[in-house]
Amino acid sequence: MTSQPAPVLDLRGDLAALVTALCDVPSVSGDETRLADAVEAALRGFGHLEVLRDGDAVVARTHLGLPRRVVVAGHLDTVPLTDPPNLPVRVLDGPAGPELWGRGTVDMKAGVAVQLALAARLGADVVPAADLTWVFYDHEEVAANLNGLGRLVRNHPEWLEGDVAVLCEPTSGGIEGGCNGTLRVEVRTRGVAAHSARAWTGHNAIHDAAEVLARLAAYTPRTVDVDGLAYRESLNAVGIRGGISGNVVPDECVVTVNYRFAPDKSLAQAEAHVRELFDGFEVTRTDGAEGARPGLDDPLVADLVASVLAVTGGQPTAKLGWTDVARFSSLGIPAVNLGPGDPLLAHKDDERCPVGQVTATHDALLAWLTAH
């Protein structure tokens, strides 16, 4: 897929132009190499950074001998483009100034642009308050077992060491604490195949799935308070398949269900809940990741909350989508989400990010990372 050369990224230029340049290199999960090459090449241009690479993940670190280390991470991949493609990025006027429209502007190349701009500056022109580790990784938008940050945890855990971590996932420029967990299961019905003209000699597995869908449609997701933040859950069929041919009663139907659960429960507890809901049906777990509690009681995170409050006036809220905050949380590193872009627009056809949020996020992180 990577036939064109990697573009040259200007990390010291205009922030909106950098977001655009990053988005205009499509990097749907599994096809991140060209963008990772561009990011690696750009970072290698700065002598204050040690640059490391594993697959399509790139890590850059300062070694200033400072007593604390902050990890700032973001993923390079996106969900698939729309048809026709919502790229290259277009700049349109929005209610609060110019907005960047196109796949990745929200989830999460605006955040990656903020990371890259700060990486180029902090440790070169400006002495930061902590040593810094910048992480750019692949395969975040697909099954958890492919996740590039998870691979770094397995292959090079020392690259990720730090005292606190910030993930630049979209939060509309405010701090979002912790994250919901995610669980995927297949709910399967089995029947007996037969010619559809003599259906009574078989048993229709798709008809049996009516009850599975009815339970999903009737389910009311909860909103759970965890450490003062409200976590809203979701339970959805994200796929359904069944059928052999146009004249055969189908012998199998599979409903793929995704449960986003609040961090008051473990992955195992979430699975038990889903199994109880689909009692009487065959349930197979295919994918899952723990949630993370907010972690706002850590002093370094409290400083970050204060910096964001000073720059944007935004109060911390709960993160609802699963993010790799949970991976840092499992390593014992307190972590929060902070990034430009409205998370409600992530993965949507009309994905777009106000330029003002990119600048504000950049400025809030800069204020925190240079506060002495």
For its own copies, the binding residues (CB under 8 A) are 79-80, 141-143, 180, 182, 184, 193-201, 204, 206-210, 213-214, 216-217, 221, 232, 234-250, 253, 255-256, 258, 260, 287, 320-322, 343-344, 346-349
Residue 355 Cβ, how far from its own copies at the closest point, in Å? Answer: 23
- Residue 210 CB: number of other CB atoms within 10 A? 12
Residue entry with tokens 């960047």: 100
Is residue 341 within 8 A of residue 105, CB to CB? The reply is yes
Nearer to its own copies, 5 or 243 (CB): 243
Residue 238 Cβ, how far from its own copies at the closest point, in Å? Answer: 5
Residue entry with tokens 């961090």: 263
Is residue 325 within 8 A of residue 229, CB to CB? The reply is no
- Residue 3 CB: number of other CB atoms within 10 A? 5
Query: Which residue type sits at 302?
Result: A
Catalytic residue among 140, 176, 233, 251: 140
Residue 30 Cβ, how far from its own copies at the closest point, in Å? Answer: 12
Nearer to its own copies, 208 or 290 (CB): 208
Residue 281 Cβ, how far from its own copies at the closest point, in Å? Answer: 14
Name the maximum alpha-carbon separation found in the chain. 79
Catalytic residue among 77, 131, 138, 176: 77
140: annotated active-site residue: yes
Residues in contact with 112: Cβ distance below 8 Å, sequence separation at least 6, in sequence order: 22, 39, 74, 75, 76, 136, 168
77: annotated active-site residue: yes
DSSP state letter for 106 = I
Nearer to its own copies, 234 or 330 (CB): 234
DSSP state letter for 203 = B
Residue 315 Cβ, how far from its own copies at the closest point, in Å? Answer: 19
Nearer to its own copies, 196 or 370 (CB): 196
Nearer to its own copies, 66 or 216 (CB): 216
Is residue 347 within 8 A of residue 78, CB to CB? The reply is no
Instruction: Give the active site residues.
Output: 77, 140
